[in-house]
Amino acid sequence: MIAFLLVVVVSLLTCGGQLCQKQAAQRWQQPDAQRLKSTLRWLALAVLLLALGMAVWLNVLQRLPLSLAYPMLSFNFVLVTLAARWLFHEPTTARHWCGVASIMLGILLMSVHA
């Protein structure tokens, strides 16, 4: 059970890293004197979150077979889609949500099987 919770932690950390990268990219486009400093802060936070995610991922790999653990990272698609919609107001279509639902169903099927 702890291994599956750790997969969720990895997903949250890597999702946070991706969101920080997006924020850095948006910040870079802002025309002001603090642009570089702000961009580098967001990138540093992204690297930190992704590094923490990798450390937890190594722990997951000690507990679960790779063939089970790796597909569960697809949970990132769900998290990033929801976060991008909520934080960056990115549009999503019904087709996109059907894909997200399919991913969630696949993760559920895999976790029940294990």
CA–CA distances in Å: residue 76 to residues 4, 9, 18, 109 = 14, 11, 10, 16
**Residue 11's domain spans which residues?**
2-113
Q: How many independent structural domains does the chain possess?
A: 1
| Centroid of chain to Cα 44 | 16
Query: Which pLDDT tens digit goes with each residue over 15-68?
Result: 999 999 999 999 998 888 788 899 999 999 999 999 999 999 999 999 999 888
Q: Which amino acid is at 76?
A: N
pTM of the predicted model as reported, rounded to 2 decimal places: 0.85
% of the chain with per-residue pLDDT over 90: 63
**How wide is the angle at C-alpha 17 spanned by C-alphas 16 and 19, nearest 5°?**
65
Q: How far apart are CA 29 and CA 58, in angstroms?
A: 35
